[in-house]
Amino acid sequence: MIELLSLSPPGWGGNLLRGLLHSLEIAFGAFGFGLLIGLGGACGKLYGGPVLRDLLAVYTTVVRAVPELVLILILYYVGTDLLNKASEAMGYGRVEISGVAAGIWVLGIVQGAYATEVLRGAIKAVPSGQMEAARAYGMPPFLMLRRVTIPAMMPFAIPGLANLWLIATKDTALLAVVGFNELTQETRQAASSTRAYFTFFLAAGALYLMVTLLSGSVFARIEAWARRGQPSLRKAAT
Amino acid sequence: MTALRAWLLPHRIVMIGLFAALVLWCAFALRWDWIPKYAPLALEGIWRTIWLLVVTTVLGFLLAIPLGLAQAVGPWYLATPARVFCTVIRGTPLLLQIWLLYYGLGSLFPQYPWIRESELWPYLRQAWPYAVLALTLSYAGYEGEVMRGAFASVARGQIEAAQAFGMPRFTMFRRIWLPQAIQTALPTLGGETVLQLKATPLVATIAIVEIYAVASRVRQDTFIVYEPLLLLAVVYLVIAGLLALGFRKLEARVPVKGH
């Protein structure tokens, strides 16, 4: 059992770790892409015109009601089709899309819908006086976003974003269905070629669990950092 | 009346018109000639998706009650295993859990003759018991956490009042504690049930023919890429909408102060 998991070639441990690395890469990229979409979406939902607001409502509702697996397939085909059409129009011919890039694109759009809701709630929780003060000083919108809105909303957004990050790491497993070489897919290959299903699936589960627990403590630190300067609720209560 | 007026704003009328045009374009420009041939299979698939959803949420919720109770008020030897179970379920992907149960247990069971000779063996050779087990455990893991919070949030005075009336412990649980906990948890439960609906297509990977698997088969047979996927997304949207509507009705049954 230990030989099966060893890192050098007769064992499959190296493959599992490589899969984990791919999973983390995709999760990281998708989380970042989702955050960008979410920030834009939240600002659009709060400050945008009626048409933009309705379009964003459709986006978040549809993405949150349709299974990720179906969205992944649709976005994967739409993305590759669009990219090929664009490159053919520019005279380059068909392009190969790497699994990591496709995974980031697909999961990023899914994450963006959830991030929009998390960030919208967080921005709404910021006392409006802070933003009014910034506006009263004539701060341009982007500077206000960077200096006032984002730092002030961080403590409210971190718990939701931590959840989103965990969803991102677990959703990378879905890409196994489309055949990307991330952790779950590598595990299945290792398991089916050695017939040691239990060993490998348990090992992969332990790896995922490790990522979850580690991220939990990292996010607890980030939250403590984002809340610095705020009076602690626990101290105030006693 | 105001709800209707909200739909009749000028920009919304334009958007609804554009959307209708898009639907019409989809109906005429895309290929739908495969539908009559696959309709019976698709209906069966939808039925199987709903069956899986209902059975696993009900079983999972029944399992979540003791899990939540153990974590909220149980002694440490019950609380710790419950917490570990919830952490493990919530910390690993569902797809991995399904494959672990199906391939792992499925390859383990045939090694034991007494399992092979038992009456359960014909069922254990099929895929659906593993699918139901995996989805049930997953729902229980997430809901155990929700119910922990819900049990802990029931006001102390309510329980003390029941004790003061000399209510037996089980009656108190059934009449006072559980209903109020479920009431607080209902909005979250609604969201989690939609998540459970979105988790059902994963069992298609262990050869269960629900609606997602039907769409995959259509795509394999006919080489049509988008149309089955679009219809599939619409089916899930409709089921999710019905779920949301049902839970809103349930929530509205108990009036909330200030609304």
Query: In the predicted model, is pLDDT for residue B74 greater than 70?
Result: yes
A187 vs B: CB within 8 A: yes
pLDDT attached to residue B38 = 86
pLDDT at A238: 45
Task: Tell me the one-letter amino acid at A227.
Answer: R
Which pLDDT value is given to residue A235?
53
Of the pLDDT bands very low, low, confident and very high (cuts 50, 70, 90), residue B28 is confident
**Quick check: A201 contacting B, CB < 8 Å?**
yes
**Is CATH 3.40.50.970 correct for B34-252?**
no
Confidence of residue B78 (pLDDT cuts 50, 70, 90): very high
Out of A77-91, A160-174, B78-92, B185-199, least confident range = A77-91
Percent of chain B with pLDDT over 70: 98
- pLDDT of B93 > 80? The answer is yes
Put simply, whether A114 touches B (Cβ < 8 Å) is: no
Contact A111, A38 (CB under 8 A): yes
Q: Is the Cβ of B45 closer than 8 Å to some Cβ of chain A?
A: no
Chain A CB contacts of B46 below 8 Å: none
**What are phi and psi for residue A96, nearest 5 degrees?**
-90, 135
Tell me which residue in B11, B87, B99 faces A201 most closely, judged by beta carbons: B99
Q: What is the pLDDT of residue B227?
A: 86
User: Is any Cβ of chain B less than 8 angstroms from the Cβ of A21?
Assistant: no
Mean pLDDT of B126-152: 91
Rounded mean pLDDT, B150-154? 88
What pLDDT, on the 0 to 100 scale, is given for residue A197?
A: 83
Which of B92, B194, B202 minimises the CB distance to A69?
A: B202
- Minimal CA separation from A91 to chain B, in Å: 25
Q: Whole-angstrom distance between the N-terminal and C-terminal Cα of chain B?
A: 19
Of the partner residues A54, A65, A209, the one whose CB lies closest to the CB of residue B92:
A209
- Closest in A62, A197, A208 to B91, CB measured: A208
Tens of pLDDT along chain A (238 residues)? 666 666 666 667 788 888 899 899 999 999 999 999 999 999 999 888 888 998 999 999 999 889 988 988 888 888 888 888 888 888 777 777 777 888 898 899 999 999 999 999 999 888 888 888 999 999 998 899 888 888 888 888 988 899 899 999 999 988 888 778 888 888 888 888 888 888 888 889 999 999 999 998 999 899 888 888 776 655 544 4
| pLDDT confidence of residue B257 | 62
Domain that includes residue A66, residue range: 2-237
Range with the lowest mean pLDDT among B7-11, B64-68, B231-235? B7-11
Domain count, chain A: 1
Q: A176 touching B, CB under 8 A?
A: yes
Res A234: pLDDT: 57
Asked if B100 lies within 8 A of A205 by C-beta distance, the reply is yes
Calculate how close chain A gets to B174, using CA atoms only, in Å. 33
CA triple A154-A156-A161, angle to 5 deg: 75
Instruction: Report domain extents, chain B.
Output: 34-252
ipTM, 2 dp: 0.83
DSSP per position, A30-59 = HHHHHHHHHHHHHHHHHHS-HHHHHHHHHH
- Specify the CATH number for the domain of residue A92: 1.10.3720.10
Which of A184, A191, A213 is nearest residue B91 as measured by Cβ atoms? A213
CB burial string A177-211: b at 16+ within 10 A, e below: beebbbbbbbbbbbbeeeebbebbbbbbbebbeeb
User: In this complex, is the C-beta atom of A47 within 8 Å of any C-beta atom belonging to chain B?
Assistant: no
Task: Provide the pLDDT for residue B118.
Answer: 78
Looking at residue A81, its amino acid is: D
Determine the pLDDT at residue A199: 84
Residue A118 CB neighbour total at 10 angstroms? 24
How far is it, in rounded angstroms, from Cα B92 to Cα B101? 13
